[in-house]
Structure 1
Amino acid sequence: MKALVKEKAEPGLWLVDVPEPEIGPGDVLIKVLRTGICGTDLHIRSWDGWARQTIRTPLVAGHEFVGEVVETGRAVTDIQAGDLVSGEGHLVCGKCRNCLAGRRHLCRATVGLGVGRDGAFAEYVALPATNVWVHRVPVDLDVAAIFDPFGNAVHTALSFPLVGEDVLITGAGPIGLMAAAVARHAGARHVVITDVSADRLELARKIGVSLALDVRESTVADGQRTLGLREGFDIGLEMSGSPVAMRDMIANMTHGGRIAMLGLPAEEFAVDWSRIVTSMITIKGVYGREMFETWYAMTVLLEGGLDLAPVITGRHGYRDHEAAFADAVSGTGGKVILDWTA
């Protein structure tokens, strides 16, 4: 089969022939239809410091996908050939304290699809049945392909109650944009998003945010004044990993404000801990999705009319992967999809 492989310890991904994956008794073999390109895939392709420390070559990359089940192991009873599925990309041990307590998203032995084992940038991918999400209701294939990052957005956005709250989102990348859509859909009063990309801020306006701020030209405090907020933001969703963005968020939260932080900083940085303490601000780190509570929430949100179409801005056949990655790395658009049937 064809697959995008990190063959060598150097920049690049290579489209090559590899053997089809084999499945065990509890596994599912899936024919991949669409995949999404993630920031993690960009790190692997560029072979940056994180990738050099994390990835063992050769490796089939990719973890955001939708596909059709073609074969199931003999122990699999609730998934059938022909089912349309996406996959939870965090494979857990099932034996640690958190796994046994039903908190699988906190497993210390998590292995990432397309990071610690061969992934979904291929014509076929194998997964344990326990990591397979069957789409029981109709869903657009492009949207189904990005359930993984959509789950990050939902997990972050729904970390705290949103109804009637004023929400600040720092970072209008694809996950930040999806979080903005979720916050609006979930009943937030105002949703403000910040970035330095005019194109991404325009996407945010299409999603329906209250205010899209280019922080090169306006401050978060300016945004507060524009909306008539007297005491600051109730909820913060930090999606950028930027030290400046995090400090601005803390400075503009109301007393008792709550921050969910998904953006991963490249290095340690200082924040105003006195402000955090005296304003009694809660900061919660978020990683991945709650398995599978977040997946249920994603499906219900889409059934309820949440529209993610504006977030998907690039579509390419898998043989045109170089153009697709160039599109994704530009930092000006939303999600980029690879079609494995083209």
Structure 2
Amino acid sequence: MKAAIFKEIEKPLSIENVKEPEIEQGEILLKVLASGLCHGDLHIIFGDWKTDVDVKTPIILGHEIIGQVMNDGKNVKKGDNVLVYNAFGCNECKYCKRGYPQYCDKVKILGVHENGGFAEYVKVPSEDNLVKVSGNPIDLAPLADAGLTAYSSVKDIEEGSNVALLGTGAVSMIALQILKLKNTKTTVVGRNYFKLSKMLELGADKVIVVKNNYSEDLSSKIGREKFDYIIDYVGSNETLKDVLWMIDRMGELRIVGEFGGEFTVPEQLMVLRGLRIKGVLYGTKKDLEELVKIFNEKKIKTLAVPYKLDEINMAIDDLLNERIIGRAVIIP
């Protein structure tokens, strides 16, 4: 089969013919229909996470997967189209039992710890992590990670809340659409004019163009306004700096992006305003199932931008240089 192989940090992926996966009892073989390209893939390719995430090379990346089932299981049959809920835990620890395998100490992610979706076929350890879907695979693929993370990041935000989104990537764009279903007031902050224009098209009440740095530009534009929630889809030093000062009493900062940021938390500010800080990693399988229902009702768009597998290094360059408005999706 054809696959894109990650061999060395800061080097292009190598398009090669490799052996198809061999499955054992209980495993499912998928013919990959599409696989989204995530900033997480870029973090791995460029070595940003080398001290935090154990990625053994050579490996096939791609963790946002939709595929066609090639062998019968108990609940899926050959020919079914499925999204992969890509957090395979031990099923025994307290996190797995509560439905959060992404926090399991032994979690395995296809495309990170084992071969993933930038190939013609992928092996799935358990059919329990598959969600049946129907429709255009290119549009469906981003639901498996970008959509799920977006849904998880906003799912319990109250109707009518005042929310600021930092960043204009695919996750933020999908999150905005879900927030608008809750009649929230939404401000989007970012540097890319074209992406901010798309955010207005998707329903943002206001966009703020960052010309210097996030905290200063945001603070100068909102005046005395405060937000109930600020959701940071970047997670850099720049986006996190002084952000807590712009959150209203009993408000919450949610951090989704993983660009290595650090920030100092003023203890008195936290106490006197009753502020909360929450990290958001992925979502639950139930979240994914609920998200698929919303998508099927045509309430959100995934904004997929297709590339062929042979074009994956072009897609990586386009994502790195912010030329993609939406989610790059790789098609074998």
> What 5-or-longer segments of structure 1 have no aligned partner?
none
C-alpha displacement of 1:273: 3.3
The aligned counterpart of 1:252 is: 246
Does the C-alpha gap of structure 1 residues 53 and 151 become closer, same or farther in structure 2, counting only changes over 3 Å? closer
C-alpha displacement of 1:15: 0.7
The aligned counterpart of 1:121 is: 118
- SS of 1:19's equivalent? coil
C-alpha displacement of 1:64: 1.0
C-alpha displacement of 1:193: 0.8
- SS of 1:78's equivalent? coil
CA contact (8 A) 2:240 2:261 kept: no
Q: Could you tell me which amino acid in structure 2 is paired with residue 153 of structure 1? A: A
The aligned counterpart of 1:63 is: 63
- SS of 2:28's equivalent? strand
C-alpha displacement of 1:5: 0.8
C-alpha displacement of 1:224: 3.3
TM-score by length of 2: 0.91
The aligned counterpart of 2:4 is: 4
- 1:145 maps to which of 119, 141, 144: 141
Q: Could you tell me which amino acid in structure 2 is paired with residue 336 of structure 1? A: A
The aligned counterpart of 1:306 is: 299
Deviations 1:70-89 (A, max 9, x none): 113xxx31101111111112
The aligned counterpart of 1:36 is: 36
Q: Could you tell me which amino acid in structure 1 is paired with residue 330 of structure 2? A: L
Equivalence map 1:131-170=2 (5 Å)? 131-135=129-133, 138-147=134-143, 148-158=145-155, 160-170=156-166
The aligned counterpart of 1:54 is: 54
C-alpha displacement of 1:51: 7.4
Equivalence map 1:169-318=2 (5 Å)? 169-188=165-184, 190-216=185-211, 219-224=217-222, 232-290=226-284, 292-309=285-302, 311-312=303-304, 314-318=305-309
C-alpha displacement of 1:248: 4.4
- SS of 1:65's equivalent? strand
TM-score by length of 1: 0.88
CA distance in 1, matches of 2:56, 2:14: 15
Does the C-alpha gap of structure 1 residues 97 and 298 become closer, same or farther in structure 2, counting only changes over 3 Å? same
CA contact (8 A) 2:236 2:261 kept: no
Equivalence map 1:17-32=2 (5 Å)? 17-32=17-32
- SS of 1:42's equivalent? helix
CA distance in 2, matches of 1:293, 1:246: 30
1:335 aligns with 2:331: no
Q: Could you tell me which amino acid in structure 2 is paired with residue 259 of structure 1? A: L
CA distance in 1, matches of 2:242, 2:295: 32
CA distance in 1, matches of 2:293, 2:49: 38
CA contact (8 A) 2:35 2:331 kept: yes
Deviations 1:48-74 (A, max 9, x none): 4527962211111111121111113xx
Deviations 1:184-240 (A, max 9, x none): 12331x110101121221221121100111122783245435xxxx65111221111
Does the C-alpha gap of structure 1 residues 278 and 247 become closer, same or farther in structure 2, counting only changes over 3 Å? farther
Q: Could you tell me which amino acid in structure 2 is paired with residue 100 of structure 1? A: K
CA contact (8 A) 1:211 1:223 kept: no
Does the C-alpha gap of structure 1 residues 282 and 206 become closer, same or farther in structure 2, counting only changes over 3 Å? same
C-alpha displacement of 1:276: 2.0
Does the C-alpha gap of structure 1 residues 335 and 103 become closer, same or farther in structure 2, counting only changes over 3 Å? closer
> What 5-or-longer segments of structure 2 have no aligned partner?
none
CA distance in 2, matches of 1:249, 1:52: 25
C-alpha displacement of 1:246: 2.4
Deviations 1:134-187 (A, max 9, x none): 11xx433222111111100100111x3331111111111111111111111233
Q: Which moved more, 1:9-18 or 1:55-64?
A: 9-18
The aligned counterpart of 2:92 is: 95
CA distance in 2, matches of 1:157, 1:259: 11
CA contact (8 A) 1:12 1:47 kept: no
C-alpha displacement of 1:299: 1.3
CA contact (8 A) 2:12 2:313 kept: no
Q: Could you tell me which amino acid in structure 2 is paired with residue 239 of structure 1? A: Y
CA contact (8 A) 1:317 1:338 kept: yes
Does the C-alpha gap of structure 1 residues 105 and 223 become closer, same or farther in structure 2, counting only changes over 3 Å? same
- SS of 2:199's equivalent? helix
